[in-house]
Chain A
């Protein structure tokens, strides 16, 4: 099993495809079912899309994570964009400021097991999500 992390720079729509392909490959390598690998790839696609839409550029980091008796994958999506002024509002279904998404974060939270977000206006946003292998 490979160690360390995979970093994918997100600058364009093509990078969204690269990031989700890398995420799917890692999930399959870790023994996730194709169903879970699809959930992970879809979450990566949405997170990378948020970066392109709101911050223009950023990074997705994929990591293998371990707990006492299980392992999984974590995805960190970070950018130095405008940040989210009201996270509670952004976590409500149907909320969008770019006029193109309307879903994004609450949907991503449903796809994954764990979800964390921190954002500061003018400094950027970091979203960390995790999926544990069943």
Chain B
């Protein structure tokens, strides 16, 4: 299942589906980094609202995506982690340390806009 990546101005938006396999996640990581380079994007929003499980592999891949994109000089924000998913992540001992998160797409966009303003 491929993850669609949308371009909105300087921001790329990737929307996760519920049933992503490890291979899908790896493909997304590759795809996002390539698109950020190609389109000279300054920000990336990863929307995980539909994700029903965030296990160790998924959270590690999200951290890697954010770090790779930061090395390109762009910012990543993860939006839409569901409350029960957040609870399970904490129980499991998973963290997204060093990765920005926001409530939803709108707040994610607001976060990036503010970031860009401070840099410009």
The dominant DSSP class at the A interface is helix
- List CB contacts (< 8 Å) of A11-64 with chain B: 13-14, 16-17, 20-21, 24, 34-35, 38-39, 41-42, 45-46, 49
Known: A45-B55, A103-B56. A111 touches B19 (CB 8 A): no
Q: List 24 A-B contacts (CB under 8 A).
A: A14-B23, A16-B21, A16-B22, A17-B20, A34-B84, A35-B83, A35-B84, A35-B87, A38-B53, A38-B84, A38-B88, A39-B87, A42-B55, A45-B53, A46-B55, A100-B60, A101-B56, A107-B91, A107-B94, A108-B92, A110-B91, A110-B93, A111-B88, A111-B91
Partner of B54, one of A14, A42, A101: A42
Q: Within the assembled complex, what's the spacing in Å between the Cα atoms of A117 and B101?
A: 36
Q: Within the assembled complex, what's the spacing in Å between the Cα atoms of A14 and B21?
A: 6
In addition to A16-B22, A38-B82, 15 A-B residue pairs with Cβ atoms within 8 Å of each other are: A13-B21, A17-B19, A17-B20, A21-B19, A38-B84, A42-B92, A45-B53, A49-B55, A93-B93, A100-B57, A102-B56, A103-B94, A107-B56, A107-B91, A108-B92
Known: A103-B93, A106-B93. A13 touches B56 (CB 8 A): no
A111, B92: Cβ atoms under 8 Å? Answer: yes
- List CB contacts (< 8 Å) of B28-56 with chain A: 52-56
With both chains docked as a complex, state the minimum distance between the C-beta of A66 and any C-beta of chain B, in angstroms: 25
Interface residues on A, range: 20 to 34
Please tell me if A104 contacts chain B, counting CB pairs below 8 Å: yes
Please tell me if B85 contacts chain A, counting CB pairs below 8 Å: yes
* Contact string against A for B residues 38-82, beta-carbon threshold 8 Å, 1 for contact and 0 otherwise: 000000000000001111110010000000000000000000001
Q: Within the assembled complex, what's the spacing in Å between the Cα atoms of A14 and B56?
A: 16
